[in-house]
């Protein structure tokens, strides 16, 4: 059994999607940002960074894993699924996983803050992040030109990237003309386990979203 500590953010949903796809039994522990659950002494004992998601693998000596990318790799290696064993194919998946972790997520996160929440509207800053997010999604579109998934087969790279790109409208970024990405978004949505995991936990509240924008929590 796995304990999942999470909230309804793209990073949190990566792990619930993976758990659903892998059909691993887990218990959800909802983290509420507005009450700063992620900064409680109890939670900081398992995740010293005070962010989500975190898992505790009860079947492996209560082993703790935090950071969403690290969790995806751990779950893939635990089950022997969603991450190829061939060295080149494995590297390819990890490259696209890191592309999401180092580029898509951080840039879309900044776009969300300045476009949605920041009290002072700064057009030049908003434009900077919108332009960069559109560029990054364009890279994904090119990658998907001749393949169904980011790395030929369905992997943790898709699981990591989809919850972010799927919220492009919330970030204020259009994907008009990026037909390959649009098709891929729908392909992912059509996977029952992805659709289930993308709604676990339930939608965040307005207070939680505002908390993110005010720097109370960083996803």
Neighbours of 180 (CB within 10 A): 18
Question: What is the DSSP secondary structure assignment for residue 183, as one 8-state letter?
Answer: H
> Phi/psi class of residue 176: alpha, beta or left (left: φ > 0; alpha: ψ in -120 to 50)?
beta
* The predicted structure's pLDDT at residue 207: 56
Question: What is the DSSP secondary structure assignment for residue 200, as one 8-state letter?
Answer: S
Question: Which residue, among 18, 23, 30, 49, has the nearest Cα to 160 in the 3D structure?
Answer: 18
Do residue 147 and residue 191 come from a single domain? yes
For residue 45, tell me if it sits in a domain.
yes
* The predicted structure's pLDDT at residue 214: 46
Where the chain has pLDDT below 70, the residues are 204-219
53: domain range? 2-81
Residue 153 in 3-state DSSP?
strand
Q: Residue 191: CB partners within 8 Å, gap ≥ 6?
A: 21, 154
* The predicted structure's pLDDT at residue 213: 47
For residue 27, tell me if it sits in a domain.
yes
CATH number at residue 126: 1.20.1050.10
Q: What CA–CA distance (Å, rounded) separates 82 from 77?
A: 8
Residue pair 6/163 in contact (Cβ under 8 Å)? The answer is no
Residue pair 39/32 in contact (Cβ under 8 Å)? The answer is no
The pTM of the full predicted model, rounded to 2 decimals, is: 0.91
Q: What CA–CA distance (Å, rounded) separates 193 from 198?
A: 8
* The predicted structure's pLDDT at residue 219: 33
Sign of torsion over alpha carbons 38, 44, 50, 53: negative
Given 45, 66, 81, the domain boundary residue is 81
Do residue 115 and residue 138 come from a single domain? yes
For residue 214, tell me if it sits in a domain.
no
**Number of domains making up the chain:** 2
Over residues 73-131, the pLDDT tens digits come to 999 999 999 999 999 999 999 999 999 999 999 999 999 999 988 888 899 999 999 99
């Amino acid at each position: 059994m796995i304990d999942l500590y999470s909230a309804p953010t793209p990073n949190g949903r990566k792990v619930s999607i993976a758990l659903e796809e892998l059909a691993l039994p887990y218990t959800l522990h909802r983290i509420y940002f507005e009450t700063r659950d992620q900064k409680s002494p109890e939670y900081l004992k398992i995740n010293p960074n005070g962010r989500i998601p975190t898992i505790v693998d009860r079947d492996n000596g209560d082993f703790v894993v935090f950071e969403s990318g690290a969790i995806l790799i751990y779950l893939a290696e635990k089950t022997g699924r969603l991450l190829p064993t061939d060295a080149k194919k494995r590297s390819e998946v990890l490259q696209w996983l890191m592309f999401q972790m180092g580029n898509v997520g951080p840039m879309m996160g900044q776009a969300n803050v300045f476009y949605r929440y920041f009290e002072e509207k700064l057009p030049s800053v908003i434009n900077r992040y919108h332009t960069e997010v559109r560029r990054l999604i364009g890279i994904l579109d090119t990658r998907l030109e001749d393949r169904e998934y980011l790395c030929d087969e369905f992997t943790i790279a898709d699981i990591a990237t989809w919850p972010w790109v799927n919220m492009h409208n919330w970030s204020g970024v259009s994907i008009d003309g990026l037909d390959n990405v649009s098709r891929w978004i729908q392909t992912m949505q059509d996977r029952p386990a992805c659709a289930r995991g993308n709604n676990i936990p339930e939608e965040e509240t307005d207070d939680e979203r505002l908390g993110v924008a005010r720097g109370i929590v960083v996803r």
